Structure 1
Amino acid sequence: MSVLKDIFVSRRQAADAARKAQMIDSFESAGLGYFWSTDAQGNIDYLTPSAFSNLGWNRKAVTGTPISNHLLPAEDPDKGNERPLSFLLSARNSITALTVKLKTDIGDVWWEISGKPQFDASGEFAGYRGSAKDITHSRTEAAANDRRTQVDTLTGLANKTQIKRFLTQNLRVFRNTKQSCAVLMVDLDRFKQVNETLGQAAGNELLKQAAGRLGRIASDKISIARLSADEFLVVMPDVDDRAILGDMAQRVVQILSQPYAIDSNQANVGASVGIAVAPYDGVETDELLNASEMALFAAKGSGNGKYRFYSSDLKKQAKHRGEIESELREAIAKDQLRMFYQPIICAKTHALKCVEALIRWDHPERGWISPGEFIPIAEESGVIRKVGAWALRQVCEDAQNWPVEIRAAINVSAVQFEHDDFVQIAKKALIESGIEPSRIELEITESVFVGDYDGIMKIFKGLKGLGVRLSLDDFGTGYSSLSYLRNAPFDKIKIDQSFVRGCTEPGNNNSAIMRAIVSLAEALDMETVAEGIEAKDELELVKRRGATHLQGLIFSGAVSNDELLAKLESGVLTYDPRGPEKYRADRRTEFRRIGLIHDDHRYDVVLRNLSKSGALIEGLLRVPEGTEIVLDLGGGQLAVATVRRSNEYTQGVEFETPLISDGADGLCTRHRVSPYQIEAAGRPLAALPDDPYAAMSSGYQAHARPKAFVQVDTSRRDAAA
């Protein structure tokens, strides 16, 4: 019985082995997977026959060669810490679902392999036995799906998910290499109007064209993404020079502000840009994006077509804006708004020909608030329509009561102008005041040409039908296009003060630009007004360039209606120029406390005024001319300077590197104290604190030399050591 049992078992085992071999053969033949094995040295000694034909491999050339030569790491970024096959084989570890890449004549192929080490009866390693399946199709599909989730389907740019992933990876690397990374958040100004007037399809086409324009500035180092409907992001690794960033922001504004051809229509939008730089304004991705968004909000608040750098002050400004918006809604009802008038003079006779109406807000607690502060808030909140209608009525009433029939020019907001009822509002103001329409001049900026061009031209036609005059304000500073000058019925072009300022400086192109504008206006039978004239050399040059009218502090600033009435009633309607002989760079009156650093000591001084090239300070007694100092302007801005003039407690200093525009009519340094410097001083890496210099230099002043200067309290004129 025992012998028969052994024979029966042996036959059953043979049958099982045959069935297994048959099943394996069927599995291989069906292409459901492959089997492989190696010898003890890691050389291939078996591979499913169909694998050779599917891969285009030569059996003889491959058999007997190291398997690690053919099954390569998959280079999968999501599994960057996975052990390569060569390591697993040498360590004789089991292999489970390892993705490998095979180089073949038919292209890259991906397998998922598993295997176990084999040992002979004596326990000696005998090689590997394993299986494999081809995952090329599923992997390719997954990659395609991944790309679809990372690309904006409308524009083809990276989407928000992808750019945030890219930023996160780069910021992690840059923290280790002590590099910076700048982001420019870009928003299309008044894009909503294009959607509303021309339709969503036109809006989508405009977005695609805008993306194409931004794509032209992309490079190996500059990445572009679309964040939302009309919002884009420009990422510039390893850049923290704010001069370079400001130039890039201005370039973005310019390329996005050119007209868009959409079917048979022309659409015009502008752009605003908010700039933030890591690690100065944020270390993590969300922190950096929030900073750039806050800067963008500030840029839009200061007028379309602007850019702003992020600063910690923007949080305070945002709160202040909210308060201003709330209080502005009640300003008209509480009779807090006032109209002031600045003379516009004949270039030949210096006789008064016109006045520009400028609105002011006499706030009971905050004092006088300039239009530059509250008009952008009024435009954004929609209050501008109410404010603009009041201003139009008030100017018409004031002008009708003047004893001399001079013209009055009124600034019209683009937000106010675009509404269909604007012509009726103007008509009502003219009728109720009884003024001759030709005495009213509406000053309109180029930004009105955004959106529905035909609708804008209809409004122009309606206004000219009323008999009022039209003036193109700030020409050449925004959405310049000669096409609307050909069709729009303007009577006057105003040469923006940015072309007048510095026009006499060597190498300045402003003089040539003025000549071109004047020649264009003459060809179109229009008057010209050069505004912002302050110095006598500017005045003479503007006259030589042929401007027909002049405006600026050299003749008069804006005066109240009562002061203007007194001038008109006096009968003396000419103005003598009064101002400096020569232009010098703008000096902003600051009157704020800053730090002054000399020989590792920090003093408190008062900044009296500030220009690109220098500043006037007071607070130190008898500082020798030629002394080198550093001014701490706040926010990590350290400006190296030399004392050029010194008189008792007042010094005039010249900057080693000129300041640049901050995008909001202010000035800033090109570079700031780096958070990496603060980190090196023993602090955790973070965005710039309120006093970066103190954080960087903590503990350093223990070895400082004695103070060289005596600090003075200029408010009391009492000297104190």
Structure 2
Amino acid sequence: MREGGDPVFWSRIRAGQLFAGRRVALFLLASNILATLAIAWLVRGIVPHWQIAAWVPLVVAAAVWVGFRRLATHPRGDGYASLRDLRRTMWDGFVLALAWSAVPVFFCTHAPTGTTAGLGLTLAVLMATAALAMAPLALATLVFLGYLGAAMVVQMAFAGSSAAALGLFLFTGLLMAACLHRARALVVIRAGELVLDDRNETVSLLLGDFDATGAHWLWETDSNRRIVKAGVRFASACGIDPASLNGLPLLQVLAGPSWDTGEFDSGLRTLAERLKRRESFRELRLPVRIDGEDRWWEMAASPRFDDHGEFYGFLGVSADITQQRNLADKINRMARFDTLTGLPNRLMVNETLVKAMADADRWGGRYAFMMLDLDRFKAVNDTLGHPIGDRLLGRVSERIQQLMGVNEICGRLGGDEFAVVIRDAGDTAAVERLAERIIAALSQPYEIDAHTLHIGASIGLAMGPRDGRTAEMLVRSADLALYRAKDAGRGVFRRYEPELHVQAEERRVLEAALREAIENGEMHLVYQPIVETGSQLPCGFEALLRWTSREFGSVLPAKFIALAEETRLIGPIGAWVVRTACEEAARWPSDMRIAVNVSADQLRNPGFVTTIASALASTGVSPERLELEVTESVFMHEGLGATQILDRVAELGVRLSLDDFGSGHSSLGYLSRTRFSSLKIDRNFVRDAAGGLREAVAIVRAGIALATSLGMDTTAEGIETKAELGVLHELGCTHAQGFYFGRPMSVEDARALANREWKDAVAA
């Protein structure tokens, strides 16, 4: 009856009301005609025939007019209607009430008591029917009930039946109240349906983005079991263009060449029976032939029915389970070969090495062992996902295998680690040349799914028997040499040298020093400002950990933080960082936030939430001033409960920020499961976007738009020039951080900056 808060939303509800009125139009027409015939029969012989002959066409014409007005509305309930459209239905109720008011005004006046009671009962039934059936059109129904009820009450009052008039008045009021109650209930139901439809559509879109690299795909059919709305992934799985796939029978697509011969698999016959019977099914497995290749699919689907219970097709999901079917045949091979690359696995590599050492000892020869580790492979896995990473590992294994001769065997130890066993290493120069060729081959670009990937390899080389007389010692020596190659900048090979054991001892000493660093007061925090891109005023700081060791001097964060994570010292160190940062933030203005980086290892500890709560309680800092920054690496092992820990932290009121957004994989899936407050755009994207790189601009714009739609802030990392700031501000980024605004500064400088205007700081 009046405009709601959201005009578009309420226009859809009004369309649903008009559609509901359209669905009962014929019922109302039939009710009016039947009631008209009943009234005419009751007053026969009492009212002059010319009056009945004049009144009956009038009522039928009014009922037909109203019925056609209702049938002229939109044939579906998913459109839009204005408030004026709904208010115009008032004329429907007015016209019907005007036609029916002739009964109490003209017919009941001269009718005997028994006939009057029959007429009143007929009108009461008609009014009750209208109150229930026409409830979606509340305004028309209220006008009809009010006008007709008033006419009946007035007639009874003039006839001297005060009790009957009072009863009719109460009856009319109850019907009008029931109409309003039912109308309100129908509106609430329709609003709930719209919300659910919108939510289901959103979830479907998000699910499609998040599972864009999965092995499942959706399909739909119409009532004739023909494919409709064929998606790209389903069409790709069928090996048919999406445009050509629409309209084809589902069974014909799955049957492939056997469709013409009629020789169908039992699974396909079972599917045909389920589709014919319109029955739901799941875990239905059947063979298919795609592009000349035999595959196995697993299918599940449910029939779909409209509001009238009319069947209009199936909605299903399929998955390629060919690999699972073949898994049983590969059990024996899996015991000694890597299932992903087909190379020998760790067990067979070790057995080959032991045999090579035994043969060399018997004949007085030499042997060698190479341990390979891929460089920058983790970045590929994080940005493009594990399926692309697995395919890359397959390409790597192919290139290594091509370099192997009869004297060498290569294998995969696990992850991105490979090994090469050289049975005869008498020619040291030839062994080193092989290492160089492997590095050169693996450093060439890879083309995978329209992605050009660049990785490299580092190799540790150990020669026996000098570097080890047992397999365990030789592998350990090669592992130490590999660490040396990585420290040398990666992309090189290094031979084992005895001093590597000395370096390993130094690392042990560094670990011991790290364990005492906090107690000795060697740890401290520096603070880098975060500003608003519009006003360029500081709104907070990011706390960064530094270590100045009494024994080793200034230790790089990349070195000691990695060591802290490996040795499980990151927990107490991280707790100290949070507590110290909150203590410092308590000295700043109340609108200044403090951001703290959180390691994935910290989120594996259930006591992390208590640590945060304790730090906030002891320092008096409000939770919304603390922001915890996490990278997507924390989700790589979700079984450890990182998502649940973050949800509990968010319940405290603490802000969550997804750091290096865009550099990992499936970021959208994380945003849909965790309540982040802001996104931090990776420095690489910031630099490329400022340089005008179209792909980077598109990614940054999409990330900012996604964050804005989810009510999240965005922070651009690594802003170093005014041009970069201008580009990110134009793209809609709300916050920025980088050397352009200030390098990490001491606690004193940060405190001074936090307590004065940014312009004054620039002028100083």
Higher share of residues assigned strand: 1
If asked which structure has higher relative contact order (CA below 8 Å, sep 6+), I would say: 1
Higher-Rg structure is 2
TM-score scaled by length of structure 2: 0.43
Provide TM-score, normalisation by structure 1: 0.45
